Amino acid sequence: MKLDAKIPSGPIEQAWAKACFDMKLVNPANKRKHSLIVVGSGLAGGSAAASLGELGYKVKCFCFQDSPRRAHSIAAQGGINAAKNYPNDGESVYRLFYDTVKGGDFRAREGNVYRLAQISGKIIDQCVAQGVPFAREYGGSLSNRSFGGAQVSRTFYARGQTGQQLLLGAYQALERQVQAGNVTMIPRTEMLDLIVVDGRARGIVARNLITGMMSVHIADAVILATGGYGNVYYLSTNAKGSNATAIWRAYKRGALFANPCFTQIHPTCIPVSGDYQSKLTLMSESLRNDGRIWVPKKKGDPRPPNEIPEDERDYYLERKYPSFGNLVPRDVASRNAKAMCDAGYGVGKTGLGVYLDFADAMSRLGEKTVRERYGNLFDMYQRITDENPYKAPMRIYPAMHYTMGGLWVDYELQSTIPGLFVLGEANFSDHGANRLGASALMQGLSDGYFIIPYTVGNYLATNTFAKVEESQPEVKEAVAAVQQKIDKLLSIKGKRTVDSFHRELGKILWDYCGMARTAEGLESAIGKIRALREEYWKDVTVPGSGDDLNESLEKAGRVADYFELAELLCIDARDRNESCGGHFREEYQTPDGEAQRDDEHYSYAAAWGYRGPDAPPELKKEPLEFNYVHPSQRSYK
């Protein structure tokens, strides 16, 4: 099988319009005869389910939370990019496209990124019409701000709660379709397997998390919008429930998994405070617009930050990257913070932290303006650390945040299993090796509102769908496999908790496959992961039963998948003998410590295929072509 990305030929500006015209349509009267499954209710899933419901399809939407409004998109703080050029500062579709391809370190597909930039403006229009209360100027027009990795102000925001407001917009549109009878919302239900019949995705096996009841749902197509796999690292900025089980089970059913090693470490998070730590809290990247990052020039300087005079501070990002300064992309900012701490300049109890200082902004703008821009973030920081960022600088450290890798999809967002579509963070398509700030919300909504309604129609219009019965062997086999796994996990009754395994797995990944990686380290990580996985299946203990609300059991299934995913992540990282974006291999760096790409050998998306529990995965390559933005050494100096 050759990977066909199905990118339309011809000029990139017309590619999406051409594709839309070439796609077959489903007659309005026939739409209600087609059933669709959407798994996940975040920005991608919620907007997809709502839009498909509006078109008249019969949609079932699943989420594991008690309500679709809880999806983790809600936690996105900073904003959403769009090529509106309201500030008249040189923004254009082409520039957003260019910045995204370059920011992704030339490992994203040009066609997809261009389409994303083209659609970005319509997303803002749609959200405004839904009543999303974006920040406004006094004259009533929409307000913009700049964001990490960009030199134009293209980011729209709603205080520090942009994700929340966009998600509520999608959630409300979704609930409107529930009321209209077009969407059936199935909350507190987790997808545990994909049903593939005659090579096509035809349904899912799901488990009700309250009653433990297993159910089978059959449809004409399945849309996964289940987010990223950052929680494989245990400590991350993801919600505790965010997990990779849906995409992982799809991988094991034949969908290819692309670029798993492209993970993003976010530079501005609150540092870890103790072993009990359950998650890491992000401080929006927008803080870097007005905050200045520094460490003391003297190693292990014991003085409180306010007593360290100006000339004894090292504003290392401004020093090393004069043109972007504190606004360098995330991968660069994270790596530099790590380098400073590794060299002994870190601050705070653990030495794993750098200062993010607002003193200059306070004197330039006044406390009132700073409060207006970042008030809720400052409050959150104070609530967690008991320190007042209006008076002393924040302490921040990088943390696992986002995964650019995910299930491989073509231009139509269809995976290698026909009828299985993958949207948002769950796919791999648009961000290459590093995502720019405020682009995740853009991608999720672009996929859900404006792409899938067209492409899924094309799939439905060009295929016929035989009835699938629950008694069919494919269905029975999937249900039995899920049940067997649950029974197995409950029956081990070992001595270690699921969380203790997960924490240990996360530590291995963070140490060997985090901000800096080496072939040797990855090799040893793979060994450690395998050994720990073996121990897991012998010694984990899962209390309670499978027939009521049992969070330990839910976690046990997810962690079992994380072991396998962690191994693939390391295999991919080991296989990619170059540094690019978030994937930094210490062996491959420029003389001044920047990521050194190898375009001659690695200008491709690495799509891995499952070949069985003990066989190594099979690598398929999708070569990347750059006809518009020519690969260059990224420079933010």
Nearer to other proteins, 163 or 437 (CB): 163
Q: How far is the CB of 336 from other proteins (least distance, A)?
A: 25
Nearer to other proteins, 312 or 548 (CB): 548
Q: Are 235 and 274 in contact (CB under 8 A)?
A: no
Cβ burial, residue 180 (10 Å; 0-12/13-18/19+): exposed
- Cα(230)–Cα(398) distance, integer angstroms: 13
**Selected binder of other proteins within 1, 29, 129, 615 (CB under 8 A):** 129
**Selected binder of other proteins within 22, 311, 386, 614 (CB under 8 A):** 386
Instruction: Considering the candidates 145, 330, 373, 558, report the single residue annotated as catalytic.
Output: 330
Nearer to other proteins, 236 or 434 (CB): 236
The residue among 550, 549, 559, 567 whose CA lies nearest residue 496 is 559
- Rg of the chain's alpha carbons, rounded to an integer? 24
Q: Is 330 one of the annotated active-site residues of the chain?
A: yes
Q: Which stretch binds other proteins (CB under 8 A): 234-242, 479-487, 511-519, 529-537?
A: 234-242
Nearer to other proteins, 158 or 606 (CB): 158
Q: How far is the CB of 140 from other proteins (least distance, A)?
A: 3
Run of H or E residues at 264: strand 263-269
By CB under 8 A, is residue 141 in contact with other proteins?
Answer: yes
Under rule CB under 8 A, which residues in 164-223 are in contact with other proteins? Answer: 164-165, 168, 171-173, 175-176, 178-179, 185, 187, 210
- Cα(365)–Cα(361) distance, integer angstroms: 6
- Cα(430)–Cα(414) distance, integer angstroms: 14
Q: Which stretch binds other proteins (CB under 8 A): 19-27, 47-55, 459-467, 610-618?
A: 47-55
By CB under 8 A, is residue 548 in contact with other proteins?
Answer: yes
Give the other-Cβ count within 10 Å of 632's Cβ: 11
Q: How far is the CB of 444 from other proteins (least distance, A)?
A: 14
Q: Which stretch binds other proteins (CB under 8 A): 289-297, 435-443, 538-546, 560-568?
A: 538-546
Q: How far is the CB of 195 from other proteins (least distance, A)?
A: 27
Q: How far is the CB of 295 from other proteins (least distance, A)?
A: 23
DSSP-assigned states of every residue in 196-231? EETTEEEEEEEEETTT--EEEEE-SEEEE-----GG
Nearer to other proteins, 520 or 551 (CB): 551
Q: How far is CA 334 from CA 88, 223, 292, 557, 570, in A?
A: 31, 33, 14, 31, 20
Nearer to other proteins, 77 or 100 (CB): 77
By CB under 8 A, is residue 241 in contact with other proteins?
Answer: yes
Check residue 400 and report its DSSP letter.
E
Contact letters for other proteins, residues 276-315 (x by CB under 8 A): xxxx-xx---------------------------------
Give the other-Cβ count within 10 Å of 472's Cβ: 16
By CB under 8 A, is residue 32 in contact with other proteins?
Answer: no
Q: Which stretch binds other proteins (CB under 8 A): 218-226, 275-283, 336-344, 360-368?
A: 275-283
- Cα(581)–Cα(262) distance, integer angstroms: 8
Nearer to other proteins, 273 or 463 (CB): 273
**Selected binder of other proteins within 92, 130, 524, 589 (CB under 8 A):** 130
**Selected binder of other proteins within 10, 21, 27, 139 (CB under 8 A):** 139
Give the other-Cβ count within 10 Å of 155's Cβ: 27
Q: Which stretch binds other proteins (CB under 8 A): 159-167, 395-403, 419-427, 592-600?
A: 159-167
Contact letters for other proteins, residues 561-600 (x by CB under 8 A): ----------------------------------------
Under rule CB under 8 A, which residues in 399-458 are in contact with other proteins? Answer: 449-450, 453
SS (H, E, C) 12-37: HHHHHHHHHHHCCCCCHHHHCCCEEE
**Selected binder of other proteins within 140, 302, 473, 623 (CB under 8 A):** 140
**Selected binder of other proteins within 11, 90, 131, 304 (CB under 8 A):** 131
**Selected binder of other proteins within 3, 128, 214, 516 (CB under 8 A):** 128
Nearer to other proteins, 86 or 626 (CB): 86
Q: What b/e readout covers 548-565, taking b as 16+ CB neighbours within 10 angstroms?
A: eebebbbbbbbbbbbbbb
**Selected binder of other proteins within 14, 17, 66, 198 (CB under 8 A):** 66
* Ramachandran angles phi, psi of 606, nearest 5°: -90, 110
**Selected binder of other proteins within 114, 134, 251, 316 (CB under 8 A):** 134
Q: How far is the CB of 25 from other proteins (least distance, A)?
A: 14
DSSP-assigned states of every residue in 118-134? HHHHHHHHHHHHHT---
Q: Which stretch binds other proteins (CB under 8 A): 274-282, 423-431, 434-442, 596-604?
A: 274-282
The residue among 64, 40, 45, 49 whose CA lies nearest residue 184 is 49
**Selected binder of other proteins within 12, 26, 83, 124 (CB under 8 A):** 124
Provide, for the chain, the percentages of residues in helix, strand and coil under a 3-state DSSP scheme, each rounded to the nearest 5: 40, 15, 40
Q: How far is the CB of 386 from other proteins (least distance, A)?
A: 6
By CB under 8 A, is residue 384 in contact with other proteins?
Answer: yes
Token duo for residue 188: 């507190």
Q: Are 223 and 452 in contact (CB under 8 A)?
A: yes
Q: Which residue's structure tokens are 């919300």?
A: 441
Nearer to other proteins, 264 or 550 (CB): 550
Run of H or E residues at 80: strand 80-81
Q: Are 233 and 292 in contact (CB under 8 A)?
A: no
- Cα(68)–Cα(171) distance, integer angstroms: 7
By CB under 8 A, is residue 27 in contact with other proteins?
Answer: no
Under rule CB under 8 A, which residues in 453-512 are in contact with other proteins? Answer: 453, 495, 497, 499-500
Count of residues making up the chain:
637
**Selected binder of other proteins within 549, 587, 621, 632 (CB under 8 A):** 549
The residue among 558, 501, 547 whose CA lies nearest residue 192 is 558
Run of H or E residues at 338: helix 330-342
Q: How far is the CB of 635 from other proteins (least distance, A)?
A: 34
By CB under 8 A, is residue 75 in contact with other proteins?
Answer: yes
Cβ burial, residue 546 (10 Å; 0-12/13-18/19+): middle
Nearer to other proteins, 241 or 582 (CB): 241
DSSP-assigned states of every residue in 417-454? STTEEE-GGGB-SSSTTSPPTT-HHHHHHIIIIIIHHH
**Which residues are marked as active site?**
330
